[in-house]
Amino acid sequence: MKSDYSMTSNQVMWLLATMNFGTTVLLSFTGTITIAGQDAWISVILSGAGSLFQAFVALRLASLFPNKTLSEFSQILLGKWGGYMITLVYMVMLLLMIPFVLRQGADFVTIAVLQDTPISVVSGLICLPCLYLVMFGLKSLVRCSEVIGPIVYALVLLLLIVLVKDVNLHNLRPIYADTGAANIMRGSLGMMSYLCESVLLLLLPPFMSDSVKAKRRGFILGILIAWLFLSLFLLFVLMIFGPDLSSKMWYPAYGAVRFISFGGFIERVDPIGVLIWMYCMVIKLSLFILMAAYNLSKWLQLKKWKSSVLIIVVAGYIGSLVPHNIINMQKYFPERIWLPWIFPINLVLIPLLLWMSSIIRRCRIPDTGRQ
Task: Domain ranges for the chain, please list them.
Answer: 3-370
Contact 329, 175 (CB under 8 A): no
Whether the pLDDT of residue 115 is over 70: the answer is: yes
Residue-wise pLDDT for 233-256, tens only, equals 999 999 999 999 988 888 998 988
Q: Where are the alpha helices (DSSP H) in 113-249?
A: 119-135, 138-163, 181-195, 212-246
| pTM, full prediction | 0.91
pLDDT at site 1? 43
pLDDT at site 211? 57
Q: In the chain, pLDDT over 90 holds for what percent of residues?
A: 45
Contact 5, 207 (CB under 8 A): yes
**CA 236, CA 351: separation in Å to the nearest integer?**
34
Whether the pLDDT of residue 369 is over 50: the answer is: no
pLDDT at site 302? 76
Hey, what CATH topology would domain 3-370 get?
Amino acid/polyamine transporter I (1.20.1740)
